[in-house]
Structure 1
Amino acid sequence: MLKIDGLNVNYGAIHALHDISIHVKKGEIVTLIGANGAGKTSILRAISGLIPIKSGSVLFEGKPIHTTAAYKLSKLGIAHVPEGRRIFANMSVMENLELGAYIRKDKRDIAKDYEMVFDKFPRLKERIKQMAGTLSGGEQQMLAMGRALMVRPRILLLDEPSMGLAPLVVRNIFSIIEEINKSGTTVLLVEQNAHMALSIAHKAYVLETGKIVLEGSAKELLTNDSVRSAYLGE
C-alpha cells in the first residue's frame, strides 16, 4: 500500500534522513521506533508532504505522492495524527470532528462515522460541546484520532500517540489502534514506547540518526537483544 524508497531529507545543512526504504502492506500495523531525533517524525511529515524531500520516492498504491500537495492527500485516504495532537483548541469537540469530514459530501455516511467515533471514544460524546483546549491530554489524543478517522482513511499515520499520557490511558489508546486496524485501516505508527508499539505491530523498523538499522517482524524485534537493551530497558 505504501512504499518509500531511497528517501533523503535535509534540514538546511543537516542530512536528516538517509536512504530510507519502508514498505507497508494493506492491513498491517507497521511501527517505527527509535530515540528522540532519530528521524521518525520526519518520515511521516515527508509522506504527508509537510516537508520537501531531497531525493527518493513515496508511492501510495503504486502511484507517486511525493510531489502531491499535502492538502490533496486526505482525498486519497491518507490521514495524519501529528505529534502533539494539533487539535483546534478554540473549537468544540464536534467542530474538530466536522473539520475531519470537511472534504466529504456523503452526509449519511458522515453521520454514521460520527457514531463510530463516539462508539470508540465515548468520552468525546460526553464532551461534544466542550472547547477542545480544555480536554485532558488523553481526551485530546482521542479527539485527534477521531478527527483523522472522519477522513475515512485507508492508511492512518500516527505520531507518538502515547506522549505524555498516563499508563492506563496509553493502554486504552493502543487497544483502540488495534480495533481501528482490525476494522480495515492500515496503520503506520511512530512511537517511543517501543514495548507497546511492538506488542501490537506486525512489522517494525528501528531508526538511529536518520538511518534504518534494523527491520523485521515485531515479534522478532521484541526478542532481539540489542532492541531489548536499547529500547525496552531490559
Structure 2
Amino acid sequence: MMLEVDKINVFYGAIHALTDISFNVEEGEIVALIGANGAGKSTSLKTLSGLLHPTTGSIRFLEEDISTKAAEEIVRKGIIHVPEGRKIFAPLTVMENLEMGAFLQNDKDQIACDIRSAFERFPRLKERQNQLGGTLSGGEQQMLAIARGLMSHPKLMLLDEPSMGLAPVLVEQIFEIIQEINKQGTSILLVEQNAKMALSIANRAYVLETGSVVLEGAAKDVMENSSVIQAYLGG
C-alpha cells in the first residue's frame, strides 16, 4: 500500500474537522475524494502534506509513519500538494516558478531536462515562460501549478480542485493531463467539486460528509449510487 490513512482526527482550533477518517491509495491509482463544501476534503490533503497534523490516528506513506512530519520532509518523501486556488508565485515568472518546484534537486542538467518536459507537456507555458505568474489566465496558472509540482518527481500528487473556475474545454484538458501524469507512474489523490469528472477518471472514490467517510468503493459503483447521483451528479 502506498498511502494508508487510519482513523485520523483533525481539529481547527475548537472545530473537529475530520472524525476517524480512513482511506488509502495503492501505487498507480487515481483516488477521488468527493463531497460538498466543508466536508473535509481540503483538510484531508493539508493533513497529508504536513500543513496540519492529526491529534489521533496515523498516516503511513510507503510503510513509514508520516503523521507528525513537517511539510518539507513530506515533500522529500515524494508527496506533492497542488493546493486549491493554485497558489503559484505571482511575482515570479513561469520559468522561476518551475525552478522553485525543483528546490530539492541539485542536478542542473536534470532540472533543465525537467523544464523541457514541462514545456512539452504544456506548450502554453513555454510561450509564456518569461511572463509573471500573476498575469496568466486561470487555466494557465493551473497548468503551471501542476508543472511546478512535477518538478520534484513526486510519487504521489495531491490535487485540490484542479478544475475550479475553469471553462469546460479547459477542464477536459486538465483531466486529460492528470490521466497522462498517472499513466507515467505518479499516483493521484484528487479532491474535486466536479464529481462526475473526478469519478470518470478515478479507480476508486471516497465520499466525505461533515468530516467523515460515508461511502467508498470503485469509482463506477460510486457513480451509480443513487444518493451520490442525487447529491453530487445533478440528480
**TM value normalised by structure 1:** 0.98
Q: How many residues align?
A: 234
Question: Which residue number in structure 1 is paired with residue 131 of structure 2?
Answer: 130
Instruction: Quote the Cα distance in structure 2 between the aligned partners of 1:47 and 1:74.
Output: 10
Verify: 1:12 aligned to 2:13, yes or no: yes
CA deviations 1:62-97 (Å, max 9, x no partner) are 101111111111111111100010000000000000
CA deviations 1:13-38 (Å, max 9, x no partner) are 21110100011000000010000000
Instruction: Quote the Cα distance in structure 2 between the aligned partners of 1:134 and 1:14.
Output: 36
Question: Which residue number in structure 1 is paired with residue 188 of structure 2?
Answer: 187
1:115 is displaced (CA, Å) by 1.5
Question: Which residue number in structure 2 is paired with residue 73 of structure 1?
Answer: 74
Question: Which residue number in structure 1 is paired with residue 178 of structure 2?
Answer: 177
- 3-state SS of paired residue (2:220): helix
Q: Is the contact between residue 7 and residue 56 of structure 2 (CA under 8 Å) also seen in structure 1?
A: yes
Verify: 1:22 aligned to 2:16, yes or no: no
CA deviations 1:41-79 (Å, max 9, x no partner) are 000000111012111111000101111111111111111
Q: Could you tell me which amino acid in structure 2 is paired with residue 18 of structure 1?
A: T
Instruction: Quote the Cα distance in structure 2 between the aligned partners of 1:49 and 1:61.
Output: 16
Q: Could you tell me which amino acid in structure 2 is paired with residue 32 of structure 1?
A: L
**TM value normalised by structure 2:** 0.98
1:110 is displaced (CA, Å) by 1.9
1:105 is displaced (CA, Å) by 1.4
1:111 is displaced (CA, Å) by 1.8
Of 214-223 and 68-77, more deviation after overlay is shown by: 68-77
- 3-state SS of paired residue (2:162): coil
Q: Could you tell me which amino acid in structure 1 is paired with residue 39 of structure 2?
A: A
Q: Is the contact between residue 49 and residue 75 of structure 2 (CA under 8 Å) also seen in structure 1?
A: no
Instruction: Quote the Cα distance in structure 1 between the aligned partners of 2:119 and 2:105.
Output: 19
Instruction: Quote the Cα distance in structure 1 between the aligned partners of 2:26 and 2:194.
Output: 23
Question: Which residue number in structure 1 is paired with residue 106 of structure 2?
Answer: 105
The within-5 A match list for 1:59-98 is: 59-98=60-99
1:224 is displaced (CA, Å) by 1.0
Question: Which residue number in structure 2 is paired with residue 49 of structure 1?
Answer: 50
> Which 5+ residue runs of structure 2 have no aligned equivalent?
none
- 3-state SS of paired residue (1:53): coil
1:202 is displaced (CA, Å) by 0.2
Q: Could you tell me which amino acid in structure 2 is paired with residue 116 of structure 1?
A: S
- 3-state SS of paired residue (2:180): helix
1:214 is displaced (CA, Å) by 0.3
Instruction: Quote the Cα distance in structure 2 between the aligned partners of 1:116 and 1:204.
Output: 30
Backbone CA RMSD of aligned residues? 0.7
CA deviations 1:79-131 (Å, max 9, x no partner) are 11000100000000000000000111122222221121111111000000000
